[in-house]
Amino acid sequence: MKAVILCAGFATRLYPLTKDKPKPLLSVGDKPLLDHLIEKLELIPEIDEAVVVTNARFKQHFRDWQKTVGSKIRIKVVNDSSMSNDDRLGAIRDLQLAVKEGKINDDLLVLAGDNLFDFSLRPFADAALKHRPDITVGAVDLGDPALVVKKYGVLQTDNGGKVTLFLEKPANPPCAQVSMGLYFFPKTKLAKIDEYLMNKENPDAPGYFITWLLEHDTVWAYPFGNGIWYDIGDLNSYESANNLFKSRRS
């Protein structure tokens, strides 16, 4: 199994913190956000390599980080050549690039690089492997639909866990269960990435990809229960996460 961590965004909502530093390398607690994600991946023994997708503006930051991070997983940094939001490829094209440049021909776990959580990914990986050859997405329930309005991809499932509805950042969410930027693609489904982009679908938000997949395939959700999850999207969420992880360290 391989992993891809999507880190090619420019995080303008976190300025000035991210003006000269990529969001995944901001310190949370006592280490960069990306280190937290690598440590979670290390607990999945099937994963032997992680491909980190960045952009031309911050590629050297990630290559410097790569030299210092001590991980038993091989890490490869891929540059998508974008310099700003104006020429960014979008998450799905970045994923396509990672598969191509990383020569990935294996089951694939995909993580958004602004994810932060304190629970193990092992149960998710176990469930996803059992659901092969179908795709699995990670989900968390935020409890109140008002908290997710126009912020997150929202999903509903049947009693067995199959996704029946996926809405990308809806204005009137039917529930509070959201996609947490965690996906599992079996080896046999990697071609769906190219197929989606060939249809000239939205290349940016992964939620649109999941909506498209539901028209063609079975998609499962793995709901994480107790635990802390942050989508580091603005200064408030970053400061909240940083303060919490600092307090846990002390």
Q: What one-character DSSP code corresponds to residue 146?
A: G
Distance CA 222, CA 238 (A): 25
Instruction: Tokens for 14, please give them.
Output: 């976190």
Please name the residue ranges forming H helices in the chain.
33-42, 59-68, 91-101, 122-131, 191-198, 206-214, 235-249
Helix (H) and strand (E) counts for the chain?
A: 7, 13
Number of C-beta neighbours around residue 157 at 10 A: 20
Distances (CA, A) of 157 to 139, 162, 211: 11, 5, 13
Helix, strand, or coil (residue 209): helix
Residue 250: per-residue pLDDT: 56
Distance CA 72, CA 97 (A): 24
Instruction: Tokens for 59, please give them.
Output: 């590629």
Q: Which residue has the tokens 């690598």?
A: 38
One-letter identity of residue 133: P
Q: What one-character DSSP code corresponds to residue 152?
A: S
Distance CA 154, CA 201 (A): 19
Distance CA 10, CA 18 (A): 7
Instruction: Tokens for 231, please give them.
Output: 């989508």
**Residue 202: exposed, middle, or buried by beta-carbon count in 10 A (0-12, 13-18, 19+)?**
middle
Domain-by-domain residue ranges, the chain? 2-118+230-249
* pLDDT by residue, tens only, the chain of 250 residues: 999 999 999 988 899 989 999 999 999 998 999 999 999 999 999 999 999 999 999 999 999 999 999 899 999 999 999 999 889 999 999 999 999 999 999 999 999 999 999 999 999 999 999 999 999 999 999 999 999 999 999 999 999 999 999 999 999 999 999 999 999 999 999 999 999 999 887 888 888 999 999 998 999 999 998 889 999 989 999 999 999 988 887 5
Distance CA 63, CA 49 (A): 16
Number of alpha carbons in the 13 Å side-chain half-sphere of residue 232: 32
Q: What is the widest separation between alpha-carbon atoms in the chain?
A: 51
Query: How do beta strands 163-168 and 115-117 pair?
Result: unpaired
- The fold for domain 2-118+230-249 equals Spore Coat Polysaccharide Biosynthesis Protein SpsA; Chain A (3.90.550)
**Residue 150: exposed, middle, or buried by beta-carbon count in 10 A (0-12, 13-18, 19+)?**
exposed
- pTM for the model stands at 0.95
